[in-house]
Structure formats: C-alpha cells, structure tokens
Amino acid sequence: MTQAIKQALDRVTRISGVRGALVVTGDDGLIVADAVMENIRGDAVAALAASFAGRMSRACYATGVGVPHFVQLQAANGTLLVMPAADVVIVVVADKDVNVGLVRLEMLHAAELVP
C-alpha cells in the first residue's frame, strides 16, 4: 500500500511546477509518505498543513457548508493544495502558475489508494 501511495505521489511531483507532495495523518500531522524537494521541510509542511486542514474542516462545519473536499491556497510565491481523504490529508506544494486541475486529478488518484 505504501509503495502504491509513493508511486501516486511521484506522479503528482512529475507535473511541472510541483515542488512536493505528501500524505499526512490528519490527527497527528505526521508524514505517511512524501516526495518533496530538498529545500522543503516535509515535517513542517505536514504538521502545519494537517492543522490547517483540521481548522478548515471546523470552519466549514460551523458555516454549514459540509466537509471540505479540496482546498487551494494561493500565496505570494506559490500554491498549497490540500485534500482530506479518510484519516489522512494529501498535501501538494507548488508554484503559483501550476496546472491545478491536473494536480487535483492526481491527488484524487492518490486519495483512492488510501484505505
């Protein structure tokens, strides 16, 4: 299973503009599998993105719009894409001008592999 998830993350990182992809435990913020560039602190991204996903879920619940399926955070120098899937969160760090649609498709593919 871990090997399949790693392969799915490799497919995400092959997309132009993607700097890293991680599967993170939602409650703990720890890395399950990752494929990130050397200048990215995977443990920091994992902990903070899982916390972000949890807070987004609570915000969505409070506003009555249901569970978030996909979060796209556009920042000054890049993009953070977050997809909750079962007990984990799939996180992608990418450039500003990355093809978000393509990345999302590959994230959905990775999410299907999570039991």
Partner 1 sequence: MKQTRAVEPWMMEPLERFVTEADARLTLIMTPSGQVLAQHGFTRAVDIMAAAALGAAIVSSTREIASAIGENGFRALNHQGVRHGVFLSETDTPRGRLLALVVYGSESSVGLVQLFFEDLARELNEACPQEIPQKAVISANFERELNESLASLFGR
Residues near partner 1, by CB under 8 A:
24-25, 27-30, 43-44, 46-48, 50-51, 54
Q: How far is the CB of 29 from partner 1 (least distance, A)?
A: 3
Residue whose entry in the numeric block shows the structure tokens 């916390």? 51
Other C-beta atoms within 10 Å of 11: how many?
17
Q: Could you give the strand order of the β-sheet that contains 18-25, starting from the edge strand earlier in sequence? A: 31-36, 18-25, 88-94, 78-85, 71-75
Q: Where are the alpha helices (DSSP H) in 1-115?
A: 2-13, 42-63, 100-112
- Residue 60 vs 102, nearer CB to partner 1: 60
- Residue 15 vs 80, nearer CB to partner 1: 80
- Residue 44 vs 73, nearer CB to partner 1: 44
Q: How far is the CB of 42 from partner 1 (least distance, A)?
A: 11
